[in-house]
Structure 1
Amino acid sequence: MSTLTAELKEKAKKVPQRGMMDNVMEQFESAANQINLHPNIKKILSITNNEIIVNFPVKMDNGDVEIFTGYRVQHNNALGPYKGGLRYHPTVDIDAARALAMWMTWKTSLAGLPYGGGKGGIKIDPSKYSKTELERITRRFTFALADNIGPEHDIPAPDVNTNSQTMAWMADTYMSTRPPAERTANQHVVTGKPAGSGGLEGRDRATGYGVYLSIKFWAEKNNQSLEGKKYIVQGFGNVGYWAAHFLEKDGAILVGVQDAFGSIENQKGIDVEGLFNYMQVNDGSIADFPKAKEVKKETFFALECDICIPAALGNQITKENALSIKAKLIAEGANGPTNVEGEKILTERGVTIIPDILCNSGGVVGSYFEWLQNRNGELWQLDEVMAKLDKKLKESFNKVYDYAKAEGIDMRTAAFSIAIKRIEKAYIERGIFP
């Protein structure tokens, strides 16, 4: 064992594990210190503007009534309406919503969008409910939130375990609560809708495409080719699949995948489309995929690879597994997948992390395009959308990469610094309402 590895292991033992809110606050503090953020603005950005908790009853298919708890946290709207996803997952609670909402504020600011940050969802395991029950749950949740969302106030989008169908139900419910003359004018209350219901062509792949572009831009900056590069993906849903889809086209080799049902490896390569098609007939699971071997869940991040893409949930890379990671590049497809302790270990080992607020921002940029399309009564073609995404995301990546190099700091601190500076400027120019 090397001296560095031994030292890092000893450090890791002494540091207690913390939650997502602890992580985002430490990241915020680090960037605030880096840019000497005005103390008054620091106070404002350290807290959320609004926190909404709703408890609502829904009748199940068998006639029983269940009570669900939903959350919507609105962190900051200095730059524009609150923007962020709604997730359906057992881990959803007020602390998770606060952390995710704060990350959204930095993400939209970094991307140069006229948005603030919000996040929320329902504490639920959607696999335990039928489609008709999920529709009723979604519509009842939307009705409960109706006075707190709106196309110029707070604009939800899909997140973990929600999709374009969820957004279609939300849009329809919300529009049904408006006066008849205003209904169609409120279509952009949510983004991520199906293309036939006001959605954007390419929105389904925007987040994964952004992850792929971030890796591609990083490789170009470092005079490297993606041809032959081995990568692993945690989470093979919308983000993980599309990132892998585009990486494969550039010659990169998928060697490992993990989802909620299992972990698989094939160092000779896993066919992306083959795995995707297998999942369609296997209840969305990668388990027992015949062209790969099963590996233990706890050893997944230790697989031999060049690039690691965590695209599932938060707090996946921690002090427990950071030392075993072989990848030299982490591209964060999920929100907050690397906690502070894990990141410190990776940084000391020389591993590069493309931070979530940059790496997975293709989704919110795509949402912005959909919002504009609805607002202006336009219809954009897929090639036009992809070209716009490419241009916007390249601008963001270059800003962060160049700032990090110039200041001698990591890319996360650089991304946070740029994002927070933009919000600070808005407050300084406009002043604080007395």
Structure 2
Amino acid sequence: MIATSEVKKQKKQPTRGMMENVMEQFHSAADKIELHPSIRKILGITNNEIVVHFPVKMDNGDVEIFTGYRVQHNNALGPYKGGLRYHPTVDIDAARALAMWMTWKTSLAGLPYGGGKGGIQLDPKKYSKSELERITRRFTFALADNIGPEHDIPAPDVNTNSQTMAWMADTYMSTRPPAERSANQHVVTGKPAGSGGLEGRDRATGYGVFLNIKFWAQRNNEDLNGKRFIVQGFGNVGYWAAHFLEKEGAKLVAVQDASGSIHNSKGIHVEDLNNYSKANNGGIGNFPEADEMDSKDFFSTDCDICIPAALGNQITKENAPDIKAQLIAEGANGPTNVDGEKILLERGVTIIPDILCNSGGVVGSYFEWLQNRNGELWQLDEVMAKLDKKMKESFSKVYEYSERESMDMRTAAYCLAIQRIEKAYVERGIFP
């Protein structure tokens, strides 16, 4: 018979939730900078949490009820900003954590934004395009005045795209008085280029991930040519990061997404995989130029750089000890939990944190917002040059702070982001 104490030892401990992770990261940085207790209280909670339930008629005539979320964490620096995702894991806790991360991300990037996040709890693969359009439009209508171009500006996230944003913008503008409609085009960002979108917005996040890796390599006298990298998630972020890394001579050796995990030690051609993925409903499984691998072995692939660009809580204490990469570049939000990160840092692995590494998307969104607001039209080369400059400023600021204060890059990024918000509260005071 097994003793009760032995049973307890054998019982698997639950994985931390994203909200637990973000709060521990926040308090750790707040301790480092000795954040004022009152401001710690304010930043430790959300400003508003909107939950909407709305009916939508399906193609077969049936009515389904959906639950949508929009959490607005903080707007001390400007309007709430952040994506909307369509995924079964969307719930209020996930939205809270993601909204808080957006606050730190926009602050770190020096943007005039706060943080918000949300979405709908659904699997978009189960619905037709016409059903997704009706779901999106009804969700936008249900949010009503909780969003707006100077109040809360959604953008694409997991399983949403430029088409989703076009439907949202059209629905929102249709609810405004005729004279105000064109002035509300920047209610969302990430729109198609022909509908007020920004040239290059589709690649902004992935390009930003690539730039951070490039800047890290330059600081450490590393050559990206010949470096082996793996990517989890082969959507916009994973694809574009891989695309630009391959141009530098780096070699993609493994990819994982919801359809499976593949590897080829000789290298996987990024464009070939992208074309295959497009032809197979966005999945990379069974790609003929690579071998299938067990999903649990993905993170232990022999490589130099790992890019988690899928969902949160992917790198944990269970798989962190097996990671071979010496650099983790976080393309997703919250892909590394606190326990996993501690193990990696103890092993000397460098982590470029999400609020820095994947901030190219929100920087691109800011450019689009400005373009719409000012009635301008920017060319692709101009956008990419602006993005390059902005990302380099952010990376240098975080890297130098981490070196100066002898801390990891995530803590450094948090300290800088929180200090900017703290300054705003100190200067303005607390109403009334």
Work out whether the TM-score is over 0.5: yes
**Residue in structure 2 matching 1:83, options 74, 81, 89:** 81
SS state at 2:95 partner: helix
SS state at 1:289 partner: coil
Aligned to 2:423: 425
Q: After superposition, what is the alpha-carbon deviation per residue over 1:51-95, rounded to whole angstroms, capped at 9, x for unaligned?
A: 000000000000000000000000000000000000000000000
How many Å separate the matches in 2 of 1:338 and 1:13?
Answer: 22
Aligned to 2:297: 299
Aligned to 1:19: 17
Q: For residues 45-60 of structure 1, what are the structure 2 equivalents within 5 Å?
A: 45-60=43-58
Aligned to 2:394: 396
Aligned to 2:196: 198
SS state at 2:224 partner: coil
Q: Which amino acid aligns with 1:226?
A: L
Aligned to 2:138: 140
**Residue in structure 2 matching 1:272, options 270, 273, 285:** 270
Check the 8 A contact 1:12/1:319 in 2, yes or no.
no
How many Å separate the matches in 1 of 2:264 and 2:237?
Answer: 21
Q: Which amino acid aligns with 1:124?
A: L
Q: Does 1:223 align with 2:224?
A: no
How far 1:13 moved relative to its partner? 9.0
How many Å separate the matches in 2 of 1:147 and 1:431?
Answer: 27
How many Å separate the matches in 1 of 2:196 and 2:419?
Answer: 34
**Residue in structure 1 matching 2:252, options 251, 254, 276:** 254
Aligned to 1:35: 33
How many Å separate the matches in 2 of 1:358 and 1:146?
Answer: 31
Aligned to 1:6: none
Aligned to 2:307: 309
**Residue in structure 1 matching 2:64, options 62, 66, 71:** 66
Unaligned runs of 5+ in 2: 1-8
- Structure 1 runs (4+) deviating above 6 angstroms are 11-15
How many Å separate the matches in 2 of 1:321 and 1:305?
Answer: 15
How many Å separate the matches in 1 of 2:86 and 2:92?
Answer: 13
Aligned to 1:156: 154
How far 1:283 moved relative to its partner? 1.8
Q: Which amino acid aligns with 1:136?
A: R
SS state at 1:288 partner: coil
Q: Which amino acid aligns with 1:20?
A: M
How many Å separate the matches in 2 of 1:201 and 1:124?
Answer: 29
SS state at 1:80 partner: coil
Aligned to 2:93: 95
**Residue in structure 2 matching 1:107, options 105, 108, 111:** 105
Q: Which amino acid aligns with 1:22?
A: E
Aligned to 2:319: 321
What is the RMSD computed on CA atoms of the aligned residues? Answer: 1.1
How many Å separate the matches in 2 of 1:242 and 1:296?
Answer: 25
Q: For residues 176-187 of structure 1, what are the structure 2 equivalents within 5 Å?
A: 176-187=174-185
How far 1:282 moved relative to its partner? 1.5
Percent identity between the aligned chains? 83
How far 1:164 moved relative to its partner? 0.1
Check the 8 A contact 1:12/1:341 in 2, yes or no.
no
How many Å separate the matches in 1 of 2:245 and 2:270?
Answer: 10
Check the 8 A contact 1:306/1:329 in 2, yes or no.
yes
How many Å separate the matches in 1 of 2:329 and 2:11?
Answer: 26
Q: For residues 224-239 of structure 1, what are the structure 2 equivalents within 5 Å?
A: 224-239=222-237
Aligned to 1:7: none
Q: After superposition, what is the alpha-carbon deviation per residue over 1:214-269, rounded to whole angstroms, capped at 9, x for unaligned?
A: 00000000000100000000000000000000000000000000000000000100
The alignment covers a number of residue pairs equal to 424
Aligned to 1:405: 403
Compared with structure 1, are the counterparts of its residues 361 and 13 closer, same or farther at alpha carbon in structure 2 (3 Å cutoff)?
A: farther
How far 1:17 moved relative to its partner? 2.1
How many Å separate the matches in 2 of 1:31 and 1:106?
Answer: 11
**Residue in structure 2 matching 1:349, options 347, 350, 356:** 347
SS state at 1:41 partner: helix
How far 1:281 moved relative to its partner? 1.3
How many Å separate the matches in 1 of 2:227 and 2:15?
Answer: 32
How many Å separate the matches in 1 of 2:167 and 2:319?
Answer: 40
How many Å separate the matches in 2 of 1:221 and 1:169?
Answer: 43
SS state at 1:258 partner: strand
How many Å separate the matches in 2 of 1:221 and 1:289?
Answer: 36
